[in-house]
Amino acid sequence: MPVPLHQAKAQFFRTLGHPTRIRVLELLQDGPRPVRELLGELEIEPSSLSQQLAVLRRGNLVTATRVGNTVVYALSTPDVAELLRAARRILTEMVTDRGDPLGRPRDPGPRASPREHA
């Protein structure tokens, strides 16, 4: 039996639900990169990066190609980069409209005392 679309979407967004995975996808927007370059940019342990890349591969968000001893990762489709750009636009709008992406009100800054206005 096929998975309902809303469940597939929930799984898709869970795959995106880790800061390292988002950062990897952002780095890959500029084109394919070998693992060693990703490691240099992310400053995490190789085993941690390997785990996060495996999640992205299973979610079909990235592809891996072996070139000699090097594994090169790329976005599976340009739509992934578009999704990241859309998320940036949405978050930027949320920050502008409401203060921050979590909907907390903007800090109005220090309040002036009545004497300062006189």
CATH at residue 68: 1.10.10.10
Per the domain annotation, does 93 fall within a domain?
no
Q: What is the pTM of this model?
A: 0.78
CA-to-CA dists, residue 112 to 105, 106, 108, 115, 116, angstroms: 19, 17, 11, 8, 6
Range of the domain at 44: 5-76
pLDDT at position 48, please? Answer: 97
Say how far apart CA 116 and CA 12 lie, in whole Å: 53
Mean pLDDT of 55-66: 96
Per the domain annotation, does 91 fall within a domain?
no
Domain count of the fold of the chain: 1
Per the domain annotation, does 56 fall within a domain?
yes
Per the domain annotation, does 62 fall within a domain?
yes
Mean pLDDT of 92-115: 63
Say how far apart CA 34 and CA 39 lie, in whole Å: 9
Coil, strand or helix at 25 = helix
CA 114 to chain centre: 45
